[in-house]
């Protein structure tokens, strides 16, 4: 008897379900482990996905160079974190990656490529991680990646519901460093015309915040509303086959059976024309 898919997307975060303290690990950048990630992650991605395309890189490059940048993205599957690393290091080519992982004690080596844990067992544990996260925004070349929903949601889940962590970080960064850049990111993992899925990423318009945040809850609602509209437009364009402005980051060669299929199609079309 197969397990029911009913609880595929639980509302309770994993660390809260386990209800136990986990070791806090500060983020580090160890060249050897970055080298390993730069070899392993692209191989993993390219073995599973036929191609990836990206739109809106100019929105990243136009950020205020005085401040760190927080990228906030939808969180729909296991690949999100690996893809975030790939985008930062191989697409926008920023070498100061910071990323919160809820279940990082299952992947402790990620500490050495810029990751650190967040434990949602209690509010105190979560605040500890968020306070540490703010300290990593002290350099303008930092690319901080966050999933403000806090848990994995199904693709196209609505409404968007943000936790208050993003607004907390913005508020603290403005007070400590004078400002911070925010860049929304939409990721879609889907089948298009090939026999393997593809990754479609869009960087939205950046926003630089330099004024104190009078109300974190109000900012959270504002950001989640803007993000939902951004995702809706992203999804609508894909649903209509509108890929204007996208560029391929990589594109695999067709498998031999797909190459034969394409060849047979071209022969058939040529015969019809004759």
Contacts of 155 (CB under 8 A, 6+ apart): 76, 77, 188, 189
pLDDT at position 65 is 95
Higher pLDDT, 258 or 212: 212
Structure tokens that stand for 198 in this block: 């593809």
Asked whether the whole model's pTM tops 0.95, one would answer: no
In whole angstroms, give the CA distance from residue 100 to residue 113: 12
pLDDT at position 178 is 97
Q: Sign (positive/negative) of CA torsion 143, 97, 246, 157?
A: negative
pLDDT at position 138 is 94
pLDDT at 268 over 60: no
Domains defined for the chain, CATH in brackets: 15-273 (3.40.1130)
pLDDT at position 266 is 66
pLDDT at 269 over 60: no
Beta bridge partners of 13: none
pLDDT at position 30 is 93
> Can you tell me the mean pLDDT for 187-200?
94
CB 146: neighbour CB atoms within 10 A? 25
Which one, of 75, 258, 255, 86, lies nearest residue 149 by Cα?
75
pLDDT at 164 over 50: yes
Range with the lowest mean pLDDT among 10-14, 43-47, 107-111, 209-213?
10-14
Residue appearing with tokens 């990646």: 145
> Can you tell me the mean pLDDT for 228-235?
98
Question: Which 3 state secondary structure label does DSSP give 192?
Answer: coil
pLDDT at position 130 is 94
Mean pLDDT, all residues of the chain: 89
pLDDT at position 252 is 86
In whole angstroms, give the CA distance from residue 88 to residue 62: 15
Position 1 confidence tier, pLDDT thresholds 50, 70, 90: very low
Euclidean distance between the first and the last CA atom of the chain, given in angstroms as a whole number: 57
Which one, of 75, 122, 65, lies nearest residue 101 by Cα?
75
> Can you tell me the mean pLDDT for 184-201?
95
> Can you tell me the mean pLDDT for 155-180?
95
pLDDT at position 203 is 98
Structure tokens that stand for 49 in this block: 């996905």
pLDDT at position 102 is 81
Helix (H) or strand (E) holding 127: helix 123-135
- Contact (CB, 8 A) for 222 and 169: no
> Can you tell me the mean pLDDT for 55-64?
96
pLDDT, tens digit, 9 for 90 and up, residues 85-141: 999 999 998 778 999 888 777 888 999 999 998 877 777 888 999 999 999 999 999
pLDDT at position 267 is 66
């Amino acid at each position: 008897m197969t397990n029911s898919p009913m609880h595929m997307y639980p509302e309770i975060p994993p660390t809260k379900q386990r209800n136990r303290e986990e070791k806090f690990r500060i983020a580090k950048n160890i060249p050897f482990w970055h080298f390993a990630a730069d070899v392993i992650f692209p191989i993993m991605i390219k073995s599973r996905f036929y191609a990836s395309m990206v739109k809106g890189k100019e929105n990243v490059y136009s950020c205020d160079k005085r401040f760190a940048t927080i990228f906030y993205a939808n969180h729909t599957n296991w690949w999100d974190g690996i893809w975030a690393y790939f985008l930062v290091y191989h697409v926008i080519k920023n070498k100061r990656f910071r990323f919160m992982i809820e279940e990082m004690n299952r992947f402790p080596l990620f500490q050495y490529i810029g990751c650190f844990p967040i434990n949602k067992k209690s509010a105190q544990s979560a605040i500890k991680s968020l306070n540490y996260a703010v300290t990593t925004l002290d350099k303008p070349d930092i690319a901080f990646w966050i999933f403000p929903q806090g848990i994995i949601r199904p693709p196209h889940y609505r409404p968007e519901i943000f936790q208050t962590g993003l607004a907390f970080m913005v508020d603290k960064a403005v007070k400590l460093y004078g400002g911070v850049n925010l860049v929304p990111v939409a990721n879609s993992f889907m089948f298009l015309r090939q026999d393997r899925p593809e990754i479609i990423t869009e960087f939205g318009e950046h926003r630089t915040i330099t004024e104190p945040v009078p109300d974190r809850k109000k900012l959270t609602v504002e950001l989640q509303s803007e993000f939902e509209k951004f995702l809706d437009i992203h999804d609508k364009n894909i649903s209509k086959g509108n890929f204007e402005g996208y560029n391929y980051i990589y594109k695999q060669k067709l498998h031999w059976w797909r190459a034969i299929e394409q060849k047979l199609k071209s022969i058939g079309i040529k015969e019809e024309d004759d």
